[in-house]
Amino acid sequence: MSLALQFGLGCQSAIDPGGTSDHSQPVLATRIYDGVPPMIHAFSDQLMEVRDQLVALSAHLDQVDLSTGVPSPELQQPLIANLDAAHESAHDLRLLGHEISGLGQEYFERWDTELQRVRNPAMLANAEVRRTQVLTAGQQIQGTMEPVYEVASTFGENLRAYRAFLEGKPLPEQGLDAPALVELIQRDAESLTLGLERVLGTTTELLRSLFPGV
């Protein structure tokens, strides 16, 4: 299952937790808020999977002969498999940006609908504060993801070009040669890994701030 699809399903479960509630109390609105930690944990778990893929790819690329850009025969198939996995992750990271934006809007629209049913002023004020906190946290996480999206775009193209080269197809005449392409992929993999580490750090910090003890 793709990264974006997994995240989408996690968001949908938070947006629509199911069950019934007494709308004289903010039960559903509270459940929507309580659905945020598992949603963020799922998001973090998926980013850690991508990070681990990038680390594995970098380890394989370190073994490539940089004078030719060609791996040893025994390394070629594992490297191609890793390139495919990394390419899918890069594609999913780009999709994830659109997924977060669209589902985030749906999430807060649902929350606002539930808040309109709350009649207790104190409960309403508390729920609105929580909504603002989660919205701000989401914007911060999205902000740290932006550099990742940018690198992921060209990273995927370079992975595809290098994979084609390993299968015997020529590299674009106006592009990089194989050794330079390997070095560029290595730099981008490192940049993405560091970027994801920053996102994970920001996410963990915000989660602890909003949900102490979770």
For residue 85, the surrounding DSSP H or E stretch is helix 73-115
Report how far residue 195's alpha carbon sits from residue 145's, in angstroms, rounded to the nearest whole number: 8
Q: What is the pLDDT of residue 23?
A: 46
Residue 86: the pLDDT is: 92
Alpha carbon 21 to its chain centroid, in Å, reads: 32
- Residue 26, pLDDT score: 47
Alpha-carbon gap, residue 30 to 12, rounded angstroms: 16
pLDDT at residue 55 in the model = 93
> For residue 22, what pLDDT is reported?
46
Contact 144, 53 (CB under 8 A): no
CATH of domain 25-204: 1.20.120
Identify the sign of the CA torsion 32, 37, 42, 43: positive
Asked if residues 133 and 210 have their Cβ atoms less than 8 Å apart, the reply is yes
Tell me which residues of the chain have a pLDDT lower than 50.
Answer: 18-26
